Amino acid sequence: MTKNLLDISTEELLEKFGKGKHVPGSGSAAAFQGMISAKLLVTVISLTCDKKREKNYGAVAPELLKLLTKIQERIFPELTDLFHMDSYHFDRAIKFREERDKADDPAIATNLERQAQDQLKIAIDIPLDIASLNIELAEMASFIFDNGWKAVRGDSQVALSGAVSAIAGCISIINLNLLTFGGDQYAYITEISKKVDIVKKIHKELDTQANSKMEALELELKERFPLYKEVTAILSKVKSKFYLTDTEIEKSATELQQLLYKHQKLIWKEDNSATPLKLLNPAIALQKVLGYKYFLMDDIILANQEDYANTAGIIDQRDRLVLISKQYSTQIQNFTTAHELGHAILHSELVMHRDRPLDGSLQAGTRGKEEIQADKFASYFLMPRKQLIKEFKERFLTSKFIIDEQSAFNLIKEGVTKLKTQCKNKRGLARKLATAQRYENQSFESLAKVFNVSPEAMAIRLEDIQLLEF
């Protein structure tokens, strides 16, 4: 062979495998399977050890990097060599046989048969070496599946199954080749068969592991079925409904919150510290419940849309994508994300939606009903009634704040007149309560900060729930 088989295109290589000839043969195919598995594991390790995943995978990264070195510096190069060697030596064995069949002289034919068997013995040793390397890869793949980045376990599983398949192929290749030897080679056949038995035993164990990984992924999927069913139930009630009451919108937000709480172990698998307030994460709801891709962007630039130069968020329901600008405060980012979540839950006619910065204040003007509905959903989702009432009572020691001498003094260390002067109206008092960090000599985080919303959004919600009078 004058041409390196790995230098030709994939299409040409596959064509050669399918031509019905002995070169490249099944041994080379097994080596090639191992090479693909090796490259898949390189990908998984590289992604897992990326700096942005250091928090979750930093502890296992050193071990994974050791495996990466073994793959790149020894296993893959050896498989590459074996790929070529198998083609070369099996081709030589076939050619000796062809010359033997043509020979008229029995002595020459016998000599050619001996040379063919010598080449075939080499061709038998090569699949043993290929199997050994694939055993290493399969063991690595099993470890990487369990410890590498969860999102790319498909690559780990394909690498594992590919390596296991290559081992099985090597066992079959060796047994088939041994059939060509006669009784006078009993000792050699027995020796190789013992080695094959060891490989076969290991293959059985690895095959069991591969199946268990496959079943684990299937089980994870089935665990999600109740979640998906409940999401569908929420959507069926409100999505694209022509007219939605505030009660219906709040109910859909509440049902989504309850769903997040109910399935928190499934959604927050890598973080068991999720608190009720932490569950109110619109980005998580978009990604892990609705299956959207979610990205925080340094800037969102829309072609031919000068009017949206300061776009804070985009939802593309066709491609299931949400982009949120990082130009604005975390409170605006959070509310904008919840607003886009509202569109994903309530509306379907908008292929792409764009918004200016949203802080949660109910903005009048030319905004359509879908925008107002999405705002309300965001408010209901980020500041759920029951949770907000609980936090309010813990801070202000009442279910409704009414201005009197005691409450005024507890809030600003001044009297009623001073407090009313500072607040001026009900909205002013609501803003004061939304940002308050102290009451009756007790310090605490403000409600706006706890719920990660703007003071204006919190003030409006406090009024909406009727937690104060002026």
- pLDDT tens, residue by residue, 314-341: 899 988 999 999 988 999 999 999 999 9
**Are 315 and 397 contained in the same domain?**
no
Average pLDDT over residues 213-229: 92
* Domain range for 378: 246-382
Q: Which range among 64-78, 92-106, 242-256 shows the weakest confidence by mean pLDDT?
A: 92-106
439 forms beta bridges with: 442
User: Which tens digits make up the pLDDT trace of 441-464?
Assistant: 899 999 999 999 999 999 999 999
Structural domain contains residue 470 = no
Count, residues in the chain? 470
CA contacts within 13 A on the Cβ side of 140: 29
325 forms beta bridges with: 297
pLDDT at 313 over 80: yes
Q: What is the overall mean pLDDT for the chain?
A: 88
pLDDT at 3 over 80: no
Out of 218, 238, 257, pick the residue that ends a domain: 218
**Are 128 and 205 contained in the same domain?**
yes
Say what the pTM is: 0.71
**Are 266 and 313 contained in the same domain?**
yes
Burial status of residue 138 (CB atoms within 10 A of its CB: 0-12, 13-18, 19 or more): buried
83 token code pair: 């790929």
Structural domain contains residue 237 = no
Q: What is the CATH number of the domain that holds 27?
A: 1.20.120.680
Structural domain contains residue 234 = no
Share of the chain above pLDDT 70, in %: 86
Q: Give the pLDDT band (50/70/90) at residue 302.
A: low
**Are 360 and 391 contained in the same domain?**
no
**Are 38 and 166 contained in the same domain?**
yes
pLDDT at 142 over 50: yes
Average pLDDT over residues 94-115: 71
**Are 121 and 184 contained in the same domain?**
yes
| CA 60 – CA 71 distance, rounded (Å) | 17
**Are 283 and 169 contained in the same domain?**
no
| CA 37 – CA 70 distance, rounded (Å) | 14
Structural domain contains residue 348 = yes
Q: Which range among 29-38, 90-99, 245-254, 379-388 shows the weakest confidence by mean pLDDT?
A: 90-99
Average pLDDT over residues 250-260: 95
Q: Give the pLDDT band (50/70/90) at residue 84.
A: confident
Structural domain contains residue 343 = yes
Q: What is the CATH number of the domain that holds 329?
A: 1.10.10
**Total number of domains constituting the chain:** 3
**Are 295 and 270 contained in the same domain?**
yes
**Are 357 and 437 contained in the same domain?**
no
Out of 367, 382, 397, pick the residue that ends a domain: 382
The answer for 323, left when phi > 0, alpha when psi is -120 to 50, beta otherwise, is beta
Question: What pLDDT score does 1 carry?
Answer: 44
Share of the chain above pLDDT 90, in %: 64
Question: What pLDDT score does 309 carry?
Answer: 54
**Are 62 and 181 contained in the same domain?**
yes
Question: What pLDDT score does 268 carry?
Answer: 80
**Are 150 and 298 contained in the same domain?**
no
Structural domain contains residue 238 = no
| CA 345 – CA 340 distance, rounded (Å) | 9
Structural domain contains residue 40 = yes
User: Which tens digits make up the pLDDT trace of 403-442?
Assistant: 999 999 999 999 999 999 999 999 999 999 999 999 998 9
Average pLDDT over residues 371-397: 95
Strand order in the sheet with 352-355: 293-297, 321-325, 313-316, 352-355
User: Which tens digits make up the pLDDT trace of 381-393?
Assistant: 999 999 999 999 9
Structural domain contains residue 233 = no
Residue position matching structure tokens 């292929």: 351
Question: What pLDDT score does 391 carry?
Answer: 96
Question: What pLDDT score does 183 carry?
Answer: 75
Out of 382, 398, 432, pick the residue that ends a domain: 382
Q: Which range among 26-30, 83-87, 129-133 shows the weakest confidence by mean pLDDT?
A: 83-87
User: Count of CB atoms within 10 A of residue 18's CB?
Assistant: 8
**Are 378 and 391 contained in the same domain?**
no
